[in-house]
């Protein structure tokens, strides 16, 4: 697998050689991926803090996510990483047609992913299961979570209502945990919207990264069509592939954390 | 075979290599990018400085002096935001590092020249968004944007935070570029411990830039989402936690202050060694301390939150780590002083700035001890003591080092010498003005004068008056310094290749350098072997000792 | 007063020591100060000495050899400061625990911070805008905010704690000398941040109980309308209801009492004693048209007598025009 990544024609004047230039590109991309991990890291941190302090919200609300659709999306992205890896291999071997087909396949997977996400988001919109201030759930029989009898309509807890009780003698340190409200046989936790806030911010930011990745891959596809890549030079394909793998990897963490809570 | 080094103003150099505004706007030359950054960053310093003078004028008397409370709140917010996001964070790496780093490596450019230009464009976009914010209602949250105030106030928070977000990317890409450059563009004989200390400083800074800035990015995105969409992550009425914002914010903003100081310390290493005509003392400790500071800086953010509502245990850990991070800085200071021992100390303008740094950063660092200790911090936090502390470190540290570096590398980048007497006067007034402005603030902070106060009790008036007077002395000092530099552009003497006798590689090319950086590739050696250079009156600068010159070129 | 005598009088520029913890904090402050002063003078002194002694001048040549490193020296000047700062750290933590750990028998007062004033609720339910405490008694404050983050700061006691919406934070102290001490808000909270001041009045032994008794019975000591005005100001009415006719979250009280009001959802009512009482205790029952259903109930928070006082106050705000007051019924 020792085909050079770069020919002299692509050597920039400030690099001592093609190897150094290629290695620099690789190092640069890995550093960029590190910054992306830290960007999402903040969100994972917020998730961890809120889930640790309010497990009941996450346990209750995650059931409104569709595990089947989420699972399909996971499979789609994993498959797209596979086609991407094959695309890099094709570029390495100088197989132009294969490279273009595989890039197209990867982009197509991206479209499928976004399509399924659209379906999920639309469903939430219709149900009123949105973030923060926009959380206004509509009673919907069909939105029954699996394995649990359908909950009664979630009552809208007025956030402006102030407690008329005196503060307890020893109030808890840290986040004040408000008691769950009993609703017949189902405990509907207060602040359920917190889950959806976290859900939409995390999947939304991820979705933006998927779109960005698809734009980058489209540009790479265009360059491939123009014959810019060969066995001697395919660095951009390689680097774009790294980015796409990261986008996939982030989803692989998001899916279980948001969908598969038990 | 050797091209005569010296002044290259008449010859082909990077400034006249191509002409026209397009050749600047679309340049890939790190030197031109550095110059554009320098002009933009100094303009931001001026803007931030104007806000500062307005603040100090308002504080001349308690109650209303020249503006109302809401305007005052915008003034201190904009002062902080402009100075931090537009001036200090990009500061030395963008304006000086971009120019000097490849030269110090003996390289022709940074690893990713187009990314470098993109960094600059992103800075410009971020700055424009900040300006949009200023004219559409400004911001009154303090530069720290604490929730829930920042999510509920009526000012243009979104455009300002969006601007800061974009500026963050500018910072990240600069850091990325510098790391890859230092890893991949070093000549084979320049091992890690043969690199100049300025590069160690930039390297440590770059590590922080790439790891910490994304966290600010997500924090600002969440803030924008909260305001624009009502997401509710920081809103207690919706189950959110406003203190979580503080954790996120300070996770970046504490390492950020080391983004500010590490390059400054790198500059000081160069200045002290050069102007003592001595090899730097304790090279390895200084180099490794930059990395130590970069690493430990990520572990101390909670010292901004000792009274915010975090557990006693967390506070203890943050306090101990805060004290730990002070030690590498102290080591550097001792090493710099030891460098002057048995040297030949020249009080040229850059050295005056370096000596000011030692004095001012000394005070800044030592006053940090009062704040790192938990019990005293309870009393002093959120008072003027903190304001004085961070001005001594960020301004008396970073900004002073910035100006020292500016005067140091000015002849190299412009090919002109400035009038030494005026430059010294500027440095002196800056020193006097600075202490007058900020020393009084420690005293009133200890007495309990809170920060971000528009109005204040009459007993604090004398301190405020002294501080305001100092601010104007400072302003005069900077004006003189700026005038000196501008004057040199028009009427300065031509600069030799090496006016100071430094041994790092940027002095082994003409002043200004050619487009390709070096007429002949220099041979790196010990970056502090200053004895290889002697003063040549004919060249009006330093030249390599002939034996060393021929040995170097063998 | 000359500058020198000013400095001498100020000493360390620390405020009066008004609590049990203040001397401990000041002792640490002084320790850090003297160590800092020593190192600062050392650094600046050596710097000046070297600059002068080794300065470039005609006839001076620098010594041929100077050390470029000295591992022992470098370890020493890393190690000694490390030990000193660890001492500071541990000492600071010890005193910090004292600052943060209230004794079991502390007298508790609830504090509410809001833009831009402080409200103190005493155990008997009385609410005041200033903090009063007995001397030599541990006092514990349980604090929360109505809106944004504030911070309760008493320089003389060396205590400070953020006041956060949605949670409770605690602060305690034991005042050692009777007197009145300044309280600042120490977390930026908007336009009125620097005016969000109040005071701690530390009473002589026996004085606090007397004060509380008298203040709580303002219904007995003040004329009803005057007491009503105080209640209006300190019980949160003022936040939503103006008295000068200007708009707000709730209807203005100016020219309200005795007038007809249109109701949300249709119908009318006369704003008489019954209406006012009902609106205080069951605010959702008859909301004025054009306003949102957001008023919290005061059931359990206002006594009957206090409601009477408020009604008396409302009457004074509509004194000129009272044709409907004689009309009973709808």
Mean pLDDT of C109-128: 90
The pLDDT assigned to A1 comes to: 39
Which DSSP letter does residue B498 get? -
C330 pLDDT band, cuts 50/70/90, is very low
Q: How many Å lie between the alpha carbon of A179 and the closest alpha carbon of chain C?
A: 14
Q: Please, what is the average pLDDT of chain C? A: 89
Touching partners of A (3+ C-beta pairs < 8 Å): B, C
Report pLDDT digits (tens) over C200-226: 999 999 999 999 988 888 777 788 888
Mean pLDDT of C126-141: 94
CB atoms within 10 A of CB A218: 14
The pLDDT assigned to B154 comes to: 86
Backbone angles phi, psi at C198, to 5 degrees: -155, -165
Of C168, C297, C299, the CB nearest to A176: C168
The burial class, CB within 10 Å (0-12 / 13-18 / 19+), for B202 is buried
Give dist(CA B176, CA B195) in Å, integer: 18
Name the maximum alpha-carbon separation found in chain B.
Answer: 76
Q: What stretches of B391-460 show up as alpha helix (H) in DSSP?
A: 400-414, 420-446
B123 pLDDT band, cuts 50/70/90, is very high
From the options 1.10.287.90, 3.40.50.1580, 3.30.300.180, 3.10.50.30, give the CATH code of C10-55+67-100: 1.10.287.90
Tokens representing residue B235 in the block:
């809103």
CATH code for the structural domain at C107-216 = 2.60.40.420
Report pLDDT digits (tens) over B186-242: 999 999 999 999 999 999 999 999 999 999 999 999 999 999 999 989 988 888 899
Mean pLDDT of C107-112: 95
Cβ distance C69 to B281 less than 8 Å, yes or no, reads: yes
The pLDDT assigned to A188 comes to: 73
Is any Cβ of chain C less than 8 angstroms from the Cβ of A35? no
Report pLDDT digits (tens) over A183-223: 433 567 788 889 999 999 999 999 999 999 999 999 999 99
The pLDDT assigned to B384 comes to: 97
Mean pLDDT of B309-320: 95
Q: What percent of chain B has pLDDT over 90?
A: 91
CATH code for the structural domain at C223-326 = 1.10.760.10
Q: Please, what is the average pLDDT of chain B? A: 94
Cis amide bond preceding A99, omega within 30: no
Is any Cβ of chain A less than 8 angstroms from the Cβ of C167? yes
Q: Is-contact C127 C168, C-beta < 8 A?
A: no
The pLDDT assigned to C2 comes to: 65
pLDDT at B2 over 50: no
CATH code for the structural domain at B21-552 = 1.20.210.10
Which helix (H) or strand (E) segment holds residue B543: the answer is strand B541-544
Q: Is-contact B247 B305, C-beta < 8 A?
A: yes
pLDDT at C74 over 90: yes
Which DSSP letter does residue C175 get? B
Chain C residue closest in CA terms to B70: C191
B110 pLDDT band, cuts 50/70/90, is very high
User: Residue C134 — left, alpha, or beta (φ > 0 → left; ψ -120 to 50 → alpha)?
Assistant: beta
- What is the rounded radius of gyration, in angstroms, for the C-alpha atoms of chain A? 24
Mean pLDDT of C11-39: 94
CB atoms within 10 A of CB C196: 23
The pLDDT assigned to C27 comes to: 96
The pLDDT assigned to B549 comes to: 55
Report pLDDT digits (tens) over A49-80: 999 999 989 988 888 899 999 999 999 999 99
Give contacts of B 477-536 with A, CB under 8 A. Answer: 516
Touching partners of C (3+ C-beta pairs < 8 Å): A, B
Q: What percent of chain A has pLDDT over 90?
A: 61
Give contacts of C 174-233 with B, CB under 8 A. Answer: 182, 184-195
Report pLDDT digits (tens) over B430-478: 999 999 999 999 999 999 999 999 999 999 999 999 999 999 999 999 9
Q: Which residues, including other chains, have CB under 8 Å from residue C113's CB and lie 6 or more apart?
A: C143, C144, C145, C146, C150, C152, C163, C185, C196
Strands A186-188, A181-183: pairing is antiparallel
The pLDDT assigned to A145 comes to: 40
Tokens representing residue B257 in the block:
């202050």
Of A162, A164, A167, the CB nearest to C168: A167
Domain ranges of chain A: 15-157+181-259
Q: Which residues, including other chains, have CB under 8 Å from residue C194's CB and lie 6 or more apart?
A: B69, B450, B452, B453, B454, B455, B456
Chain B residue closest in CA terms to C184: B450
pLDDT at B362 over 50: yes
Q: Is-contact C279 C240, C-beta < 8 A?
A: no
Touching partners of B (3+ C-beta pairs < 8 Å): A, C
Domain ranges of chain C: 10-55+67-100, 107-216, 223-326
Q: Which residues, including other chains, have CB under 8 Å from residue A59's CB and lie 6 or more apart?
A: A261, A262
CATH code for the structural domain at A15-157+181-259 = 1.20.120.80
Across A126-140, B497-511, C122-136, least confident range: A126-140
Is any Cβ of chain C less than 8 angstroms from the Cβ of A175? yes
Report pLDDT digits (tens) over A143-187: 334 333 333 333 333 333 333 334 343 333 333 333 444 343 356
First to last CA, chain A: 45
Report pLDDT digits (tens) over B24-71: 999 999 999 999 999 999 999 999 999 999 999 999 999 999 999 999
Residue with tokens 């002849």: B411
Q: How many Å lie between the alpha carbon of B382 and the closest alpha carbon of chain A?
A: 21
Report pLDDT digits (tens) over B400-422: 999 999 999 999 999 999 999 99
Mean pLDDT of B353-358: 98
Report pLDDT digits (tens) over B15-30: 999 999 999 999 999 9
Give dist(CA B242, CA B233) in Å, integer: 8
Mean pLDDT of A4-23: 79
Is any Cβ of chain B less than 8 angstroms from the Cβ of A48? no
User: Which residue, B398, B387, B420, is CA-closest to B268?
Assistant: B398
C125 pLDDT band, cuts 50/70/90, is confident
């Amino acid at each position: 697998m020792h085909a050079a990544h770069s020919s002299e024609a692509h050597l920039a004047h400030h690099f001592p050689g093609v190897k150094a230039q290629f290695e620099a590109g690789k190092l640069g991309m890995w550093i960029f991926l590190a910054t992306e991990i830290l960007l999402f890291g903040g969100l994972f941190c917020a998730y961890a803090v809120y889930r640790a302090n309010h497990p009941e919200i996450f346990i209750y609300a995650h059931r409104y996510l569709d595990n089947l659709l989420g699972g399909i999306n996971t499979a789609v992205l994993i498959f797209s990483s596979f086609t991407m890896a094959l695309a890099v291999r094709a570029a390495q071997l100088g197989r132009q047609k294969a490279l273009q087909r595989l890039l197209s396949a990867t982009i197509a997977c991206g479209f499928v992913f976004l399509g399924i996400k659209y379906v999920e988001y639309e469903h939430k919109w219709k149900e009123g299961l949105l973030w923060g201030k926009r959380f206004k759930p509509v009673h919907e029989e069909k939105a029954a979570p699996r394995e649990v009898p359908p909950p009664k309509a979630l009552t809208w807890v007025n956030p402006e209502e102030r407690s008329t009780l005196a503060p307890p003698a020893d109030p808890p340190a840290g986040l004040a945990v408000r008691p769950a409200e009993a609703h017949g046989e189902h405990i509907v936790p207060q602040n359920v919207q917190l889950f959806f806030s976290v859900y939409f911010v995390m999947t939304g930011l991820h979705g933006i990264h998927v779109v960005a990745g698809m734009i980058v891959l489209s540009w790479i596809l265009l360059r491939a069509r123009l014959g810019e890549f060969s066995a001697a030079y395919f660095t951009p394909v390689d680097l774009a592939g790294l980015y796409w793998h990261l986008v996939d990897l982030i989803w692989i963490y998001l899916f279980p954390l948001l969908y598969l809570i038990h | 075979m050797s091209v005569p080094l010296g002044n290259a103003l008449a010859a082909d150099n990077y400034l006249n290599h191509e002409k026209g505004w397009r050749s600047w706007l679309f340049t890939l030359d790190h030197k031109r990018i550095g110059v554009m950054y320098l002009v933009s960053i100094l303009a931001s310093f001026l803007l931030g400085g104007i806000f500062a003078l307005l603040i100090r004028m308002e504080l001349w008397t308690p109650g209303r002096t020249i503006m109302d409370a809401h305007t005052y709140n915008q003034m201190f917010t904009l002062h902080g935001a402009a100075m931090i996001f537009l001036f200090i964070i990009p500061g030395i790496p963008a304006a000086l590092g971009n120019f000097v780093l490849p030269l110090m490596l003996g390289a022709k450019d940074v690893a990713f020249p187009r990314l470098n230009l993109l960094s600059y464009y992103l800075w410009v976009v971020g700055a424009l968004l900040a300006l949009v914010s200023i004219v559409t209602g400004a911001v009154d949250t303090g530069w720290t944007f604490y929730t829930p105030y920042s999510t509920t106030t009526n000012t243009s928070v979104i455009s300002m935070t969006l601007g800061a977000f974009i500026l963050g990317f500018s910072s990240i890409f600069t850091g990325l570029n510098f790391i890859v450059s230092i890893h991949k563009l070093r000549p084979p004989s320049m091992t890690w411990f043969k690199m100049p200390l300025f590069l160690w400083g930039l390297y440590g800074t770059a590590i922080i830039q790439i790891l910490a800035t994304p966290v600010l990015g997500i924090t600002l995105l969440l803030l924008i989402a909260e305001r624009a969409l009502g997401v509710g992550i920081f809103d207690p009425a919706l189950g959110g936690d406003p203190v979580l914002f503080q954790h996120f914010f300070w996770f970046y903003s504490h390492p950020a202050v080391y983004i500010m100081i590490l390059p400054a310390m790198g500059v000081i290493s160069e200045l002290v060694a050069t102007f003592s005509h001595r090899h730097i003392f304790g090279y390895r400790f200084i180099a490794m301390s930059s990395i130590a500071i970069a690493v430990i800086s990520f572990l101390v953010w909670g010292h901004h939150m000792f009274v915010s509502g975090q557990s006693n245990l967390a506070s203890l850990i943050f306090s101990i780590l805060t004290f730990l991070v002070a030690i590498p800085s102290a080591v550097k200071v001792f090493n710099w002083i030891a460098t002057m021992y048995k040297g030949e100390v020249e009080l040229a303008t850059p050295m005056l700035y370096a000596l000011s740094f030692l004095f001012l950063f000394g005070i800044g660092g030592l006053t940090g001890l009062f704040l790192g200790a938990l019990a005293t911090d309870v009393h002093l936090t959120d008072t003027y003591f903190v304001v004085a502390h961070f001005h001594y470190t960020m301004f008396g540290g970073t900004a002073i080092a910035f100006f020292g570096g500016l005067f140091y590398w000015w002849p190299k980048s412009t090919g002109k010498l400035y009038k030494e007497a005026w430059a010294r006067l500027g440095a002196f007034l800056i020193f006097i003005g600075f202490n007058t402005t900020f020393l009084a603030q420690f005293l009133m902070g200890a007495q309990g004068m809170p920060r971000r106060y528009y109005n204040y009790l009459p007993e604090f008036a004398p301190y405020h008056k002294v501080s305001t007077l100092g601010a104007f002395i400072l302003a005069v000092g900077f004006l003189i310094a700026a005038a000196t530099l501008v004057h040199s552009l028009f009427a300065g003497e031509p600069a030799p290749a090496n006016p100071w006798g430094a041994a790092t590689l940027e002095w082994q090319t003409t002043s200004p350098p050619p487009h390709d950086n070096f007429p002949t590739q220099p041979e790196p050696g010990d970056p502090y072997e200053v004895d290889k250079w002697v003063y040549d009156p004919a060249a009006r600068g330093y030249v390599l000792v002939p034996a060393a010159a021929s040995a170097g070129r063998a | 007063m000359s500058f020198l005598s000013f400095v001498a009088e100020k000493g360390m520029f620390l405020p009066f020591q008004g609590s049990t913890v203040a001397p401990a904090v000041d002792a640490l402050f002084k320790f850090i100060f003297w160590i800092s002063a020593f190192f600062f003078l050392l650094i600046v002194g050596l710097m000046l000495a070297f600059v002068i002694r080794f300065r470039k001048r005609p006839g001076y040549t620098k010594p041929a050899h100077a050390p470029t490193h000295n591992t022992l020296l470098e370890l020493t000047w890393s190690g000694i400061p490390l030990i000193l700062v660890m001492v500071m750290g541990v000492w600071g933590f010890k005193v910090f625990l004292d600052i943060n750990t209230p004794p079991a028998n502390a007298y508790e007062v609830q504090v509410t911070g809001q833009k831009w004033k402080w409200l103190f609720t005493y155990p008997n339910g009385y609410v005041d805008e200033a903090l009063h405490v007995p001397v030599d008694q541990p006092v514990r404050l349980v604090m929360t905010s109505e809106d944004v983050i504030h911070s309760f700061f008493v320089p003389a006691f060396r205590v400070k704690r953020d006041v956060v919406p949605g949670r409770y934070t605690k602060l305690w102290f034991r005042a050692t000398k009777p007197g009145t001490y300044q309280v600042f808000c120490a977390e930026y909270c908007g336009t009125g941040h620097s005016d969000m001041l109040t005071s701690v009045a530390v009473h002589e032994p026996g004085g606090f109980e007397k004060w509380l008794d008298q203040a709580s019975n303002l219904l007995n000591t003040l004329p009803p309308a005057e007491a009503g005005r105080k209640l209006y100001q300190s019980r949160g009415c003022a936040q939503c209801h103006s008295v000068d006719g200007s708009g707000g979250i709730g209807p203005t009280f100016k020219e309200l009492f005795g007038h007809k009001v249109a109701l949300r959802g249709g119908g009318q009512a006369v704003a008489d004693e019954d209406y006012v009482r009902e609106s205080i205790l069951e605010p959702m029952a008859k909301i004025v048209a054009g306003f949102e259903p957001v008023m919290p109930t005061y059931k359990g928070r206002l006594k009957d007598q206090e409601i009477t006082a408020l009604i008396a106050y409302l009457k004074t705000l509509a004194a000129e025009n009272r044709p409907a007051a004689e009309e009973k019924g709808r």
